[in-house]
A and B are shown apart, each in its own frame.
Chain A
Amino acid sequence: MNRKRILLTLLGVLALVFVVAACAQQPAEQPAEQPAEQPAEKPAEQPTEAPAKEVDFVTWYQYDQNNEDPKSDERVGNQYLRDTIPQFNEAFEGKWNWVNQPKAFDKMTAELVAAVQAGGDVPDLFEMSNTQDMVDFYRHGTVQDLTDWAMAQSWWNDLDASAIEACKGPDGKLYCIPISIRPQVVYVWSDRFPDGFSKTPEAFLEDSERLKAEGLYSMTFFGSTDKGGEGLTRAMWTIISSYGGSLDDGQGNMKLDWPETIEAIEFIRHIVQQGYIPEIAFAGGFQEEEAFKDASAGSFPTGLFGYRYVNPLTAPDGTKYDTGSAEDMLNAIADGQVVITHSFAPEGKKPGCGIDVAGFVIPVGAKNVEAAYDYINWIMSPEQNPAWVQGPGGGFPALKATQEHELFQTPFYKQAAEAVGASACRPWFGSLQRPNEAQEMVMQVIYKLIKEDPTLDIATELQKVQEEYNANN
């Protein structure tokens, strides 16, 4: 009898735990419907109801306003938040109080997806730093549809068309607001390439041989499989796209065995096997930067925003740029020691590069959507937009009006604009709907082909990977 009662009580407790858990999960069930409806109901242009007292407006940035370390990698963004949080709070005094919760750059996307699914606390606004996150957000029903609201705003028609495209989900709806366009470029020590950076792969091989004879490397890049295959999005894609290659068939299937892609990988394999690339390029953990910092490698294809992290620098002539901050690279560029340029490309082809957008998404379950709308409009204002693009954005303005701002007339931005203007930039994942999975798989096979076993047949290995990926389409 007693045993039965104990059993029944335990079952009761178990049922109670399930009920509590199920109740806690309720908000996670909302994502599917919410995105389409919410923005349409509350256009920001309409005067919003003033809350009775100041309400917290919560954001997730990868930057930390409380980190005042001048040598912090994220110094630029940290300073930006320190400067602008008081400005926003003053502009919306009595209405919103901006509270930023700093997050790790490589964990925040997963954290948001998990938080929305679990019905946990989500921010009112999330700083999105690359386009492929948007694909994941869409797949998980993490973010709200902003189409109707965004199209009703005064700045909509001034947005760069390609930036808008990058923010669209597979269903054609807008899920993010682009603020900054982040291209991939090539940083070059001008003394290592006295006649300018190589224009063709053949010229690059000649320069590489010359530098090798001097005990130097012609290039360093993110060559490891670390960080989920992040290297693919950088130098690998820059070279593949410069050869005219692709990683998809335009229909959502992975297709790696394009002749141009194979040719590009063959070229990368060659420069690795010839010893033109330092070993540190394959160590992961962003250690490839070391070879550019001490100028032992002459060039470094990476993101435009990379200038913030690659420091301190020692130029080929021994000049030191050692403040240990983003100023080092900017000063080296201003002195003509470093130039920003585009990739080389085979004769008759336009250099390629990867491109991303940084901007904002509003998570499903955000408590204060009105504040998020106000914040985006505030950031889009001529007074605030340039600072965001230069600060957290680390790229070019998505708003055409901001492109003319004096902040973007420096040697750094002018050179970058020329490099991007001479290139055909596109997102590396094309029509692929599972970019994170694809990124990891493709970078692993490229690593295998260029470094681990250079005797393998490129086409065969690429076909194996694309078949494995496409089997799950």
Chain B
Amino acid sequence: MTQSQSSYSPSKPHRKRDWLPFWLILPTVVVLLAIQVYPALYTVWLSVHERKPAGWTYVGVDNFRRLLNMGLFKESIGHTIIFLVGYASLTMLLGFIVAMLLNRKMRLSGFYVTLLFIPWIIADLLTGIVFRLLVFPDYGIFSGILQNPALFPPDGISILTAARPKPWFGDFPFPPSPAMIYLILASAWRALPFITLLLLASMQTIPQEVLESSRIDGANGWQIVRHIMIPLMLPTLVVALFSLTLSGMNGIGMVFSLTGGGPGTSTEVLSMLLYAIGWRQLYFGRAAALALLIAVINWLLITGTLRFTRLQERSIS
């Protein structure tokens, strides 16, 4: 064995070891580049182009400018905020309550969990259609009750066509229209099982000794929830909140089939507007610009939530 061979040989197996993981993850990286990175970059490219009869034309930030000048865009942001806050808070609250009930030792709890899961396995598009059938004006299953002036004076309520109330804060669409409230309820109904199970699983990891000792120390129910359960479940609560925020922000199925953005524009959330601009009006460039803005909003929401959580964790510790 020569000197040079002996000095080279130790590094050879080391190099092999280094490259193997790379080759193993390469297929995944290629797939990710093709289905995530490329579409993302293509969206950026689309957002600065517009289709003309002669082909694609570079328009700079024109698509963004047009979007920002659109009356409906500003209105949609308001609707999206209302929807997200209503949907996420209602689902979290109900999910927590149901999880607490299921966490108690009771008969048939497995059966209840199975029942609870039903809404989750129904497509949101179908859920929207079913909820719509319930409240069709004049012909819906519950329309006789809802539109009865004796029960809901003075004229009864027609959820899918009732006008929105006058806004309290300038143009911000609050209070929401009956259709928006119904949309929030329907969306929460569908998301409830997943969130409940997530929270239930987390709840079951809380050591019973901690809960029992707090009770012995005289803590009441609310104090246990506030000072023991929530802090211990915080990571799971954040995951649940992420899931709700992203599904609420990007989901369109329920809005599409339940209200179609109406009545008027009272449930026109950003994802519905994106669909309208891209697939109904066929402005792919402008739709890409909106998709990027939605991505930025998503990013802000996530980083905001993370920062808030870290602060909470710090204060707890």
Residues on A facing B (Cβ under 8 Å): 2, 6, 9-10, 13-14, 17-18, 21, 29, 31-32, 107, 109-110, 113-114, 117, 136, 138-141, 169, 171, 224-228, 278-280, 282-285, 287, 290-291, 434, 436-437, 440, 444, 447-448, 451-453, 464, 468, 471-472
Is B109 part of the contact surface with A, judged by Cβ < 8 Å?
A: no
Q: Which of B22, B34, B53, B276 has the most CB of A within 10 A?
A: B53
Please give the distance in Å from A79's CB to the nearest CB on chain B.
Answer: 27
Query: Please, which residues of chain B bring their CB within 8 A of the CB of A228?
Result: 276, 280-281
A468 lies within 8 A of B70 (CB) = yes
**21 CB-based A-B contacts, threshold 8 Å:** A2-B15, A10-B29, A13-B29, A14-B33, A17-B38, A32-B54, A32-B55, A110-B279, A141-B54, A171-B53, A225-B260, A225-B261, A225-B264, A226-B262, A228-B280, A279-B137, A279-B161, A284-B259, A436-B281, A444-B265, A468-B70
Contact of B55 among A10, A21, A141, A434 (CB under 8 A): A141
Is B136 part of the contact surface with A, judged by Cβ < 8 Å?
A: yes
Query: Please, which residues of chain B bring their CB within 8 A of the CB of A14?
Result: 33, 37
**Cα of A468 to Cα of B160 in the assembled complex, Å:** 28
A6 lies within 8 A of B22 (CB) = yes
Q: Which residue of B lies closest to A21 (CB)?
A: B38
Is B139 part of the contact surface with A, judged by Cβ < 8 Å?
A: yes
A110 lies within 8 A of B280 (CB) = yes
**Cα of A227 to Cα of B281 in the assembled complex, Å:** 11
Q: Which of B2-41 contact A (CB under 8 A)?
A: 15, 18-19, 22, 26, 29-30, 33-34, 37-38
B262 lies within 8 A of A453 (CB) = no
Is B132 part of the contact surface with A, judged by Cβ < 8 Å?
A: yes
A472 lies within 8 A of B66 (CB) = yes
B282 lies within 8 A of A136 (CB) = yes
**Cα of A202 to Cα of B18 in the assembled complex, Å:** 87
Are A225 and B51 CB-contacts (below 8 A) given A283-B160, A290-B139? no
Are A140 and B51 CB-contacts (below 8 A) given A280-B136, A451-B163? yes
A452 lies within 8 A of B282 (CB) = no
A279 lies within 8 A of B263 (CB) = no
Contact of A140 among B37, B71, B138, B282 (CB under 8 A): B282
A31 lies within 8 A of B55 (CB) = yes
B139 lies within 8 A of A287 (CB) = yes
Are A32 and B66 CB-contacts (below 8 A) given A451-B263, A452-B263? no
Are A278 and B138 CB-contacts (below 8 A) given A29-B55, A32-B55? yes
B34 lies within 8 A of A291 (CB) = no
Is B52 part of the contact surface with A, judged by Cβ < 8 Å?
A: yes
A17 lies within 8 A of B137 (CB) = no
Is B284 part of the contact surface with A, judged by Cβ < 8 Å?
A: yes
Contact of B38 among A18, A136, A284 (CB under 8 A): A18
A284 lies within 8 A of B160 (CB) = yes
B264 lies within 8 A of A447 (CB) = yes
Are A468 and B69 CB-contacts (below 8 A) given A291-B138, A440-B281? yes
Q: Which of B46-82 contact A (CB under 8 A)?
A: 51-55, 66, 69-72
Q: Which of A13, A110, A284 has the most CB of B within 10 A?
A: A284
Please give the distance in Å from A174's CB to the nearest CB on chain B.
Answer: 15
Q: Which residue of A lies closest to B135 (CB)?
A: A283
Query: Please, which residues of chain B bring their CB within 8 A of the CB of A434?
Result: 281
Is B158 part of the contact surface with A, judged by Cβ < 8 Å?
A: yes
Contact of B264 among A9, A278, A451 (CB under 8 A): A451
Query: Please, which residues of chain A bring their CB within 8 A of the CB of B37?
Result: 14, 17
Contact of A285 among B52, B55, B260, B281 (CB under 8 A): B260
Q: Which residue of A lies closest to B55 (CB)?
A: A32
**Cα of A437 to Cα of B18 in the assembled complex, Å:** 56
A471 lies within 8 A of B69 (CB) = yes
